[in-house]
Amino acid sequence: MSGTYDVVIIGGGMSGMMAAIALVDMGRKVAVVSRGDPVCCLSTGCIDVLAGGNDPLEGIGSLPDNHPYHLVGEDTVKRSLEMFRDIMSEGGLPYVGDARVNRRILTPLGRHKVTCLVPGTMEFADFHSDEYIHVISFKKMKDFYPDYITSRYKNAGYSIFDAGIATTAGIAERFENRKFLEGFISWLKGLDIPEGRIAIPAVLGMRFAGDVCDEISAELGRNVFEIPTLPPSMPGLRLFGGLKKALLKRGGDLYWGREIYSVEKLSNQIEAVTLAGAGRSARVQGNAFILATGSFVSGGLHASMDTVRETAFDLPVYLPGKRESWFNNNFFAPGHAIEKSGICVDQSFRPVDTETENLFVCGSILAFSEIMKYRCGHGMAIATGVAAANMCGRLA
Ligand SMILES: Cc1cc2nc3c(=O)[nH]c(=O)nc-3n(C[C@H](O)[C@H](O)[C@H](O)COP(=O)(O)OP(=O)(O)OC[C@H]3O[C@@H](n4cnc5c(N)ncnc54)[C@H](O)[C@@H]3O)c2cc1C
């Protein structure tokens, strides 16, 4: 498969998919090229906009001057999050929350995660510790131990259901079966839980989790919510599925399992990319290109002993000093200096220190994002994806 497009987006994560959807909605012919599944599949499915305060949008003002959120501006951040919510509702995966309010949802460790927009199945996951909570787990389910939660809350209890299978994906698949769901509801009713909310690990199905959650809630007369689990994360997979569905429904093209093998340039313009991957190679031509390949986890950036390389176009990468100043064995260490590395862009999201005029950059590959430090992963990807699409759409 080869093709000619107004815009070709490299990277099919949150930022690339949001940029693609925004551009198709502007009437552009768009293709997304991606090596594999993005980081959002591993995530809780929640949209962290900015932790640290109660109002994430207000918090943007106090970020360092070089943070990519400043290139977007508060108004576009807000509008892009609204756009995200519309897209997910359209696909039957409504999100709840307010861009101006952070919420604290329950984690499998019994702690709280600060986030902003959450899938409808987690609407009631922000609760007061004095309220009784009954946790449901599943026999032999890995990486979910209700004792972690009940040991932190005096007012909590748990019960274990035998789903006949122990994997997250396996249980989620069972919840798509009517007979299984009815059996589960009848077991829950038999528990005679006296009061409070019911918390279930995020396994309530793939396509219709919201309906399953609502049905359990209605049958029990209680607020029911999902607790995000460790990967494989059903809410993360649902989120990615929703984005993919929205793009394909609008007529965008996907080149999946593909990465750039070579780049054709004419003067200051990228003309086309040749893709390698399973099967025959493909040539994808575009008037403009958006780089949305993510950071180290997805392979958009690659660190070797002495340097960091951008893997698609070999763009110059900003590094916070010499290796000795940023190397840390623990990649997830809070404030890890390597988090600042990435591609520096100008006000229109074009990479600096290059002559290329029709290339734009968005998402976690942007320098100074510091996603783990500021807890702004999906929020920043959504906002910069839409902002880069706005800039690119003027050209393409
Ligand atoms: C384990 C984990 C959990 C997280 N949980 C949360 C959470 O709960 N909430 C939250 O808000 N944020 C979370 N984050 C952060 C958030 O998921 C990311 O910041 C965000 O999804 C990044 O999106 P992106 O579009 O920039 O890149 P990515 O999601 O990394 O996508 C990049 C895509 O580009 C592709 N690609 C890479 N190189 C190439 C190439 N050369 N050619 C073609 N394709 C290429 C990759 O295959 C991938 O599909 C989490 C991050 C991690 C690692």
Name the pLDDT band for 278 (thresholds 50, 70, 90): low
Nearest to 247 by CA among 92, 18, 41: 18
Average predicted confidence (pLDDT) for the chain: 94
pLDDT per residue as tens digits for the range 315-329: 999 998 888 777 788
Q: Exposed, middle or buried: residue 280 (CB in 10 Å: 0-12, 13-18, 19+)? A: exposed
Phi-psi region of 327 (alpha: psi -120 to 50; beta: other; left: phi over 0): beta
Residue 35 or residue 332, greater confidence: 35
Q: Is the CB of 16 under 6 A from ligand 1?
A: yes
CATH of domain 125-222: 3.40.50
Query: What string of DSSP letters covers 169-208?
Result: HHHHHHTTSHHHHHHHHHHHHHH---SSEEEEES-S-SSS
Ligand 1 probe mutation, 103, 118, 293, 314, most atoms within 8 A of CB: 293
Ligand 1 site-directed mutation target among 8, 37, 43, 261, most atoms within 8 Å of CB: 43
- pTM score, whole prediction: 0.97
In CATH, which superfamily holds the domain spanning 3-94+237-395? FAD/NAD(P)-binding domain (3.50.50.60)
Judged against a pLDDT cut of 70, whether residue 138 lies above it is answered with yes
Residue with tokens 């007979």: 179
Omega cis (within 30) before 232: yes
- Give residue 305's pLDDT band: very low, low, confident or very high (50, 70, 90): confident
The ranges assigned to domains in the chain are 3-94+237-395, 125-222
Give the pLDDT confidence of 112-135 residue by residue, as tens digits: 999 999 999 999 999 777 889 999
Query: Closest residue (by CA) to atom 35 of ligand 1?
Result: 11
Reported as a single tens digit per residue, the pLDDT across 210-226 is 999 999 999 999 999 99
